[in-house]
Homo-oligomer: A and B are copies of this chain.
Amino acid sequence: MTGWACPAPLRDYARVVLGHGGGGVLTSELIEHLFLPAFAGGGTPVDAAPTDTAPTDTALPAGALADAAVLAVGGLRLAFTTDSYVVRPLFFPGGSIGELAVHGTVNDLACRGAVPLALSAGFILEEGLELAVLGRVAQAMGRAAAAAGVRLATGDTKVVERGLADGLYVNTSGIGLVPPGVDVRPDRAVPGDRIIVSGPIGEHGIAVLSVREGLEFGGDVRSDTAALHGLVAAMLAATMPGVHALRDPTRGGLATALCEIAAAAGAGVEFTESTVPVPPVVEAACGFLGLDPLHVACEGRLVAFVAEADTDAVLAAMRAHPAGRDAVMIGSVTAEHPGVVVARTAFGGTRIVDRPLGEQLPRIC
């Protein structure tokens, strides 16, 4: 138990704050300055692992964080990802923590172009949780997995004392297979790429908020939670090499997804704010609460970076799929201002779009 000293950019925080889980700047700092150095340490470089089946990420340079790792194993490319779900409350309009836990992890695999194969389910239950509630969550997971054609293959259950887990938390990890010829990763976005959003943004976040805070925003709003691997398969069927980068804008919203891809690719992003599909109820809620819709989580949308020449084909394929029927092009990648995301506003000006620092909407997934 040697002392541990926190490296520079984390030094202002001696303790974990909610923002460290928000998917924004603080989360990135935690990953880059705490987890990655710790996990890389210990003396054995990854590429020197002692078996000839040692997995190595086939595509990503160190530091370019993707939705899932892709490992070369015995001639296959396996995608592997994990997510814990702590959403509060457990049930909300349009879904529950059960659907989220399946869709979220399936979508992380899909955003590497992988065909999802199997999920694990690790439950942390609070003593006193009604078994009927657990049953409803498990059944929601079973239904969502069956609908997605993915198997819940292995599981684990722990119980902690009353007061310690807010009902339940669940982790799902997922494995998938990247088909030959598919190469989807954040750093493949290049200047000229067109940027497509698969549908209206922000509905998941506002749906959870509405029930959590007991607010009404002048209209029904339901979570957009959905599995996206079918949509991705349709896009890849239209063009395999032309689909460069995909991301599902969950915590931190569309703004964070665009910023992360801009940073990973070392390229600039420009989009027209008025083309981003924001449902009226999301717009009303964000106005009321002082939120930027670009920062509100979706759980059934993706943003795609597509080669210019393939844009029409990909848009057509998306619109022909139920999960992408409202897909629209919102902007493009530029060689200017690398790493920076710029929105063209309704007034003809521009503004820089950044990730939220920390946690705008805690416990949203």
Contact = CB atoms under 8 A, between A and B. Distances in A.
B34 A131 contact: yes
A135 B18 contact: no
A159 B21 contact: yes
B159 A17 contact: yes
Interface in A153-200: 153-161, 163-166, 169, 171, 173, 175, 177
Nearest to A126: B16
Given A164-B164, A164-B166, A173 B122 contact: yes
A14 interface: yes
Contact of A76 (B73, B136, B164): B73
A236 interface: no
Contact of A155 (B31, B117, B128, B131): B31
Contacts of A6: 131-132, 135
A22 to B, nearest CB: 8
Given A14-B130, A18-B161, A136-B1, A82 B142 contact: no
Interface stretch (A144-152, A205-213, A217-225): A144-152
Given A16-B127, A138-B39, A80 B120 contact: yes
A50 interface: yes
Interface residues of A, number: 107
A31 B152 CA distance: 13
Q: How many copies does the complex hold?
A: 2
Interface stretch (A52-60, A239-247, A343-351): A52-60
A21 B117 contact: no
B160 A55 contact: no
A125 interface: yes
A332 B323 CA distance: 57
Given A27-B157, A122-B84, A131 B73 contact: no
Given A69-B154, A125-B20, A38 B159 contact: no
Interface in A97-140: 115, 117-118, 120-132, 134-136, 138-139
Contacts of A83: 122, 156
A43 interface: yes
A171 B84 contact: yes
A338 interface: no
Given A41-B146, A71-B153, A16 B129 contact: yes
Nearest to A56: B151
A120 B118 CA distance: 14
Among A18, A76, A122, A143: residue with most chain B CB under 10 A = A122
Closest 3 CB pairs of A and B: A42-B146, A21-B159, A173-B173
Given A20-B157, A31-B157, A163-B163, 16 more contacts: A1-B96, A6-B131, A16-B129, A16-B130, A20-B125, A27-B157, A35-B138, A42-B142, A51-B117, A55-B117, A55-B153, A73-B175, A78-B175, A86-B158, A122-B171, A122-B173
